[in-house]
Chain A
Amino acid sequence: MDFKTLLKNDFILLDGAMGTLIQKSGAKYDHCPETLNLTHPELITSFHRAYIEAGADIVYTNTFGANEYKLEESGRSVEEVISAAIANAKKACEGTDTLVALDIGPIGMLLEPAGALRFEEAYEYFKRQILAGADADLIVFETMTDLYELKAAVLAAKENSDKPIIATMTYERTGRTFTGVSPASAALTLTGLGVDALGVNCSLGPDELEPVVSEMTKYTDLPLIVKANAGLPDPNSNEYSIMPERFAQCVKALLPYGVKFAGGCCGTTPEYIRELKNMLSKEAFKPCPKTADTCVCSASTVVEINGPRIIGERINPTGKKLFKQALVDNNIDYILTQALSQVSGGAEILDVNVGHPEIDEKKMMERVLKAIQSVCDAPLQIDSTKPDVLEAGLRCYNGKPIVNSVNGEEKSLSAVLPLVKKYGASVVGLTLDEGGIPKTAEGRFEIAKRIVSRAEALGIDRRDVYIDCLTLTVSAEQDACRETLRALHRVKAELGCKTCLGVSNISFGLPNRELVNSTFLTMALEEGLDLPIINPNIDAMTGAVRAYRVLSGIDKNSVEFIESYNDAAPQVKPKAQEDISLDAAVYSGLKKEGAAVTERLLENTDPMEIVNNMLIPALDKVGEGFEKGKIFLPQLIQSANTAQACFEVIKKHLSKAGGENVSKGKIILATVKGDIHDIGKNIVKVLLDNYGYTVVDLGKDVDPQLVVDTAVEQDIKMIGLSALMTTTLKSMEDTIKLVRETPELQNPDGSSKCVVFVGGAVLTKDYAMKIGADYYCRDAKESVDTAKRVLG
């Protein structure tokens, strides 16, 4: 029997809990129950046999936690535990058709961004288990709470094995996993990655899983798995609340949602499996086709493209000086600010393009995607002309993204579409090819058709291909606008594809571009545009989409529209004080007033005089108040932010005048390797920024080598390191050591070019000196004092 043949059955019966049987047997083990495979092989085989006798078609090996991390203290290797476990299960299966599934649970450490384990490291953990379990008939991932971890697992399985894969996650009563994954996102992402079945295990009793299962089935055509707990354990007796017969009846109620695999998790025993078998023998499997239209998602948020959805275009360096500078400086916060402001402006999906000749685009794409995912729930569109950048982005994306883009050129089709298929994404198809952009709608329609048929040949659903009929500048070619709209109409009507369009190009070279753009947008929407790529922070554009949704009957009862504009009435803000001094504005943290006063001062005061004789002293006064306990940290920060607003005004003034740079020097900041608490470092950053220093923020969990490389590349003489825990002070020491040992960072006489200052909750001055730091800074204020001393 193999898995494919087994799939022809109406239902596939899985086993029940292993842990429950181990617990009941009273068998003793050191650290990990998985070591019982080696110490008590007959016992484990007897448990498998009990489930096989109860009717299980597939048994899970006793390897749930058999990974490098969890086995660490047991003294056993992944390989010996897993091969023993498979042998035990196979022995039990002898003479039957039962299949053996290599069971893999979560690693036990949380992945980035919440945790410290990198996606790539998680992949390696799973890879080792999968290679060790090559003799199993299939691979099962279960009890997962993090979709990102599960994606690493599925990729590891796909790339290191040809076995079937089934995957289940565990949900809370809120209908989400601990990390906030929705059943819909899990279904979309796993389906895209090409698993053979997906569903839910553990969680709650089967009586409470209807919301999870019914949501999943809307988003996938795959058969579903339910392997629930026997209800909830009584805290005193540890007995579970749902008895075998009722358990089976509750699972029966879930069958109409396309459930094909059934079994039991915590608290279930062979008796439960026997009851499930009885129940299933009287039922017939009914597939339950998905009902949702094409969707994209992050781990927590699904966007169904069943009407116009806004893609934010702002994360893109083209024509943006500040954005380019941010990329060169590795200023990820700048990009994150753009992401958050677009979402609050109304973007539902964000395009991410970080192409710039001066940087490593592939590394930057990974870094930026991971960072955006850590603060923003909107699904993302990975935008690059380079297939290797697209693949890097697809790998580390958590959810189902859009790839931007493929076009009709053979080179593009053969490089991009296989990636789209492998990672289960949607894709933007540009209607151009080797011959350029066809002038007519017909020409573009033909290319669209070709892209769709090539996609379908690879097994990509045509609804996941979003055709872009390309906007040309109307001031250059006036007829082109009509051709774009005609092509869009035909693609939508005849190919049944979704459509997308970058809108803003239309008005290039014209005055009042906003008016042209929003009018064109409205025309395109009426022709069937699904995904306008726009600047969502321009009200006229976002407003046109929202209004269109009302007028075309998509926004039922105008609910979304009203929500968006309900409090749009101009807010009554306290009137800015006109005659406030810069000093007072900074001290009270009044941003707008500070900026306004700075503007006025610039009319007749030298910019550097404002900085040195007004702003800095004002900040110093705040700092002093903080030291004396007169004001507290948030106030200090608000004052610093006010100073920042003033600096911005001055910078703008200077760049207009083509004058000098106000930066007082560059400083590297990093939270050391292994440490992921960086709020302290970020507070220091805000203050240094606002005193006019240029901070190169390397983030948290930073490799010592990256600190050194950055210092060398950008010729930076001052480095600030932060560590929160006693356990990570060692990394701080290592980083300082590497800085001191690097020849490029030494003067000819062997002394160090770099000044290192350190801080962090558990650090003391003595310790800081012992590990070779130049300065110990107790708080953000002292960091500024130190910077002044060193850089002036």
Chain B
Amino acid sequence: MIALEPLNRNESLRYMGGAGVKLNDEMTRLMDDCEARLLRAARPKYLYKIIDLPCAELTPGEDIKRHLEGCSKAALICATLGAEVDKLIRVSQISDMARAVVLDSMASVAIEQVCRRVDALIAESLPEKFLTFRYSPGYGDYPIELQKTFLTLLDAPRKIGLSVSESCLLIPAKSVTAIAGISDKPVEKKRRGCAVCSLRETCRYRKNGDHCGF
């Protein structure tokens, strides 16, 4: 169990297409209120497991092989904010859509925060090793269908209540599955970047010369 820390507002604003927007008082109040509610509802949980490479079953496609080049092991990771956050966003969509949008973006920030903490925990437990950034099913040519395999291997439905639907949606929605390579030598810490992103053709940030931080 991880306790959340205050959320990065700028990141959340960027998700809402509002990077650089000056917030009026009402919007600031709305964001304060959403953050408080979100922190109350979230029950962040995670699992990870170290596997040996090569592992054909978990590394189909070119992109992931390139990503894990030089790694002898990898960490399978999953994390979730829990079902209450989904419910909070669902209820808000009935009562106040503006609030729902803010909550949704903040929850995205929160799950990324959880993942970064998990990265740090894994790194701590492997003092002599180096981690690549997290690579998720759905990036590039890495099949999104692998989510089910990840969750089964981690026993995630039973241990942290995280499962996947037949159309590959993670449930609860604010969740992540990923793999991070473990190497004996320092790895190049680049940003995941737009190249691997499935939204690159339609992305608003990209159109405006920005990026989502991904």
Contacts and interface: CB of A to CB of B under 8 A. Distances in A.
Nearest to A679: B104
B120 to A, nearest CB: 16
A792 B202 CA distance: 27
B97 A675 contact: no
Given A178-B82, A202-B158, A637 B169 contact: no
A125 B165 CA distance: 15
B94 A337 contact: yes
Interface residues of B, number: 53
Contacts of B83: 114, 178-180
Contacts of B201: 764
Contact of B13 (A115, A145, A632, A683): A632
Nearest to A633: B16
Q: Is the interface of A mostly helix, strand, loop or mixed?
A: loop
A374 B90 CA distance: 8
B48 to A, nearest CB: 10
A336 B17 contact: no
B166 A114 contact: no
Contacts of B18: 629, 631-635
Given A632-B13, A637-B98, A764-B202, A109 B169 contact: no
Contacts of B30: 634
A113 B173 CA distance: 12
A683 B97 contact: yes
B97 A686 contact: yes
Contacts of B43: 174
A632 B16 contact: yes
Contact of A637 (B97, B158, B172): B97
A108 interface: yes
A253 B158 CA distance: 27
B61 interface: no
Contacts of A83: none
A455 B86 CA distance: 40
B21 A630 contact: yes
Contacts of B160: 178
A115 B165 contact: yes
A682 B166 contact: no
A446 B83 CA distance: 49
B202 A778 contact: yes
A542 B19 CA distance: 45
Nearest to B21: A632
A634 B101 contact: yes
Given A143-B158, A674-B165, A113 B17 contact: no
A110 B171 contact: yes
B101 A679 contact: yes
B168 interface: yes
A508 interface: no
B179 interface: no
B100 A116 contact: no
B109 interface: no
Interface stretch (A204-212, A288-296, A467-475, A723-731): A723-731
A45 to B, nearest CB: 25
Nearest to A339: B94
B161 A178 contact: yes
B110 interface: no
A388 interface: no
Given A633-B101, A637-B101, A763-B202, A116 B165 contact: yes
B93 interface: yes
Interface residues of A, number: 60
Contacts of A635: 18, 21, 27, 98
Interface string B142-173: 00100000001000011011011111110111
Nearest to B202: A764
Contacts of B84: 180
Interface in A623-662: 626, 629-635, 637-638, 641
A158 interface: no
Q: Which of B16, B18, B86, B144 has the most chain A CB within a 10 Å cutoff?
A: B18
Contact of A641 (B90, B98, B158): B98
Given A178-B161, A629-B21, A683-B101, A727 B90 contact: no
A169 interface: no
Given A637-B97, A762-B202, A764-B202, A629 B165 contact: no
A677 B21 contact: no
Given A374-B90, A641-B98, A145 B161 contact: yes
B59 to A, nearest CB: 18
A171 to B, nearest CB: 11
Interface string A712-729: 000000000000111110
A66 B43 CA distance: 30
A629 B16 contact: no
Contacts of A117: 165
A677 B16 contact: no
Given A110-B171, A727-B168, A682 B20 contact: no
A198 interface: no
Interface in A386-400: none
A481 interface: no
A333 interface: yes
Contacts of A763: 202
Interface in B103-148: 104, 138, 144
A727 B95 contact: no
Contacts of A633: 16-18, 101
A631 B17 CA distance: 8
A634 B161 contact: no
Contacts of B171: 110, 114-116, 676
A106 interface: yes
A149 B95 CA distance: 28
Contacts of A31: 152
A415 interface: no
Nearest to B105: A633
A337 B202 contact: no
A537 interface: no
Interface string B188-214: 000000000011011010001000000
A334 to B, nearest CB: 10
A178 B1 CA distance: 13
Contacts of A631: 18, 21
A375 interface: yes
B169 to A, nearest CB: 6
A340 interface: yes
Given A109-B166, A116-B171, A375 B101 contact: no
B91 interface: yes
B81 interface: no
B165 A375 contact: no
B173 to A, nearest CB: 6
A538 interface: no
Contact of B167 (A116, A374, A626, A761): A116
Interface in A150-183: 170, 174, 177-180
Q: Which of A145, A630, A633 has the most chain B CB within a 10 Å cutoff?
A: A633
Contact of B102 (A180, A374, A634, A682): A634
A338 B40 CA distance: 25
A308 interface: no
B91 A727 contact: no
Interface string B71-89: 0000000000011101101
A588 interface: yes
A388 B17 CA distance: 49
Contact of B165 (A110, A143, A764): A110
Nearest to B161: A178
B165 A333 contact: no
B100 A679 contact: yes
Interface of A: 31, 106, 108-110, 113-117, 143, 145, 170, 174, 177-180, 202, 333, 336-337, 340, 374-376, 588-589, 626, 629-635, 637-638, 641, 674-679, 682-683, 686, 724-728, 731, 761-764, 778-779
20 contacts: A106-B158, A117-B165, A178-B161, A336-B94, A375-B87, A634-B101, A635-B18, A637-B98, A641-B97, A641-B98, A674-B166, A674-B167, A679-B93, A679-B101, A682-B97, A726-B138, A726-B198, A761-B199, A762-B202, A764-B201
